[in-house]
Structure 1
């Protein structure tokens, strides 16, 4: 077992992990609903950064129904954005998790 090689491999994995996390922080993903009436922007870690509601979603004649409709559209847009975040996280972090699962020779659990 070559400890120098193991340490070097661990350092490379750490650098790759940090780069992937930075990419997730900087990513901007948009989920939509209602044909674009509601847009939710999230970063790659799943934090909501912005919600946009098109004025066309508002029916001034029926405030109660409009409020419920907008709430439903916002929820649907959040779910759409969350799906995109999950896909991006798998894309960026999945290979790293597989690399760890493949193991570092000689170290159990790595």
Structure 2
């Protein structure tokens, strides 16, 4: 290796590369903390069921309108709850992926999030 760093790096040195990596790592940690503190809500069945998840992908709230609780059709209510939860989780995942894409400039880095 030539003196002064890696070939093709524009004369940059290893210290600059390390500083850039540390800065990127800090930005990633900050982004992850921000996402973990957000909540994502999905409503299905015309407002019958609402699910709320956080950025840690934990279900934190489920709201069910009393008028949709039909003892003769429990399966429909179960399906609505599953659908609302899955949609809320998808919103959280989509935002996480979008933020990651912004951070990496669209590069796909295996093992990240």
Q: 2:44 maps to which residue?
A: 33
Displacement of 1:14 after TM fit?
0.9
**Greater gyration radius:** 2
Q: Within 2, Cα distance between the matches of 1:30 and 1:74?
A: 12
Gaps of 5+ in 2: 6-12
Q: Within 2, Cα distance between the matches of 1:89 and 1:7?
A: 25
Displacement of 1:46 after TM fit?
1.8
Do the aligned partners of 2:42 and 2:87 also contact (CA within 8 Å) in 1? yes
What is the root-mean-square deviation of aligned Cα atoms in Å? 2.0
Q: 2:9 maps to which residue?
A: none
Q: 2:58 maps to which residue?
A: 47
TM-score with structure 2 setting the length: 0.77
Secondary structure at 2:62's aligned position in 1? strand
Between the two proteins, the alignment pairs up a number of residues equal to 98
Displacement of 1:101 after TM fit?
5.8
Do the aligned partners of 2:101 and 2:107 also contact (CA within 8 Å) in 1? no
Q: Within 2, Cα distance between the matches of 1:26 and 1:74?
A: 23
Higher helix share: 1
Change (3 A) 1:99 1:80: closer
TM-score with structure 1 setting the length: 0.79
